[in-house]
Amino acid sequence: MSRPEAASAAPRDAFAARLIAWQREHGRHTLPWQRTRDPYRVWLSEIMLQQTQVATVLGYYERFLQRFPDVRALAAASQDEVLALWSGLGYYSRARNLHRCAQAVVAEHGGHFPRAAAQLAELPGIGRSTAAAIAAFCFGERVAILDGNVKRVLTRVLGFDGDLAEAAHERQLWEQATELLPHEGIEAYTQGLMDLGATVCPGGHPNSPTHGHRKFPHPDRASMRR
């Protein structure tokens, strides 16, 4: 590696290391879907958590697992059963896609979720960020997530001011998010981004690694915009 590349990589490595350390000290560790590498359970939690608070999801998550303990059980259910159990959680297209995805996993993948984010993203209802989260948590794939909360974190950390409604700017943020990925500890890093996005407030959180530049080393913003 050339010296300029090494100099550019150092701040990014520091960002990942600091975020991982913050997550281990201040992040969330007791949520039920954090105690498993089962892609079915992680996928279920990721879909339920879309536009829904953790406190609301917890009860639904447990009831779903009691009724549909694995992807085959969910695939075999009727859509009416799935929608009835989802009732009250809102955004019902998620439940329909959940059912379709379970059926696709059984019919096309023998009941086993694909291990790569690119393949997961081809399944019904699984977008790029959700696919990345499943692949990172369950299979250790080094891949970036970029949901709404994470976008807020990274635009702040990177000083990114592009309009994310424009596809070119969103692609640029995806590229920068990928450049920030650590070579080790992808699970803690990914969870750290999620925890930070869920807990940091607009004015800064006292335990947040973005609260004050002295406490949290930011990546070199100029190098990230090349």
Average of per-residue pLDDT across 76-94: 97
Rounded to an integer, what distance in angstroms lies between the CA atom of residue 105 and that of residue 21? Answer: 35
Please choose, from the candidates 11, 226, 46, the residue with its C-alpha nearest in 3D space to the C-alpha of residue 134. Answer: 46
Q: Do 132 and 149 fall into the same domain?
A: no
Q: Do 105 and 202 fall into the same domain?
A: no
Helix, strand, or coil (residue 210)? coil
Residue after which a domain boundary falls, among 87, 104, 139: 139
The more confidently predicted of residues 97 and 210 is 97
Q: What mean pLDDT value characterizes the chain?
A: 87
Tell me what pLDDT residue 12 has: 75
In this structure, what CATH number is given to the domain that contains residue 148?
1.10.1670.10
Q: Is the pLDDT of residue 221 over 80?
A: no
Residue after which a domain boundary falls, among 112, 139, 166: 139
Residue after which a domain boundary falls, among 139, 173, 203: 139
Q: Do 48 and 121 fall into the same domain?
A: yes
**Which one from 25, 46, 122, 175 is the annotated catalytic residue?**
46
Tokens linked to 55: 């406190």
Q: Do 40 and 100 fall into the same domain?
A: yes
User: How many other C-beta atoms can be found within 10 angstroms of the C-beta atom of residue 79?
Assistant: 13
Tell me what pLDDT residue 13 has: 83
pTM of the predicted protein model: 0.86
Element containing residue 132 per DSSP (H, E): helix 128-139
Q: Do 57 and 11 fall into the same domain?
A: no
Q: Is the pLDDT of residue 56 over 60?
A: yes
Q: Do 203 and 220 fall into the same domain?
A: yes
Average of per-residue pLDDT across 48-59: 94
Structural domain for 41, as ranges: 32-139
Q: Do 49 and 24 fall into the same domain?
A: no
* Residues near 88 by beta carbon (within 8 Å), at least 6 away in sequence: 60
In this structure, what CATH number is given to the domain that contains residue 111?
1.10.340.30
Q: Do 103 and 70 fall into the same domain?
A: yes
Element containing residue 22 per DSSP (H, E): helix 3-26
Condensed to tens digits (0 to 9), the pLDDT of residues 164-201 reads 999 999 999 999 999 999 999 999 999 999 999 887 63
Q: Is the pLDDT of residue 222 over 50?
A: no
Number of domains in the chain: 2
Q: Do 71 and 150 fall into the same domain?
A: no
Q: Tell me if residue 46 is catalytic.
A: yes
Tell me what pLDDT residue 202 has: 39
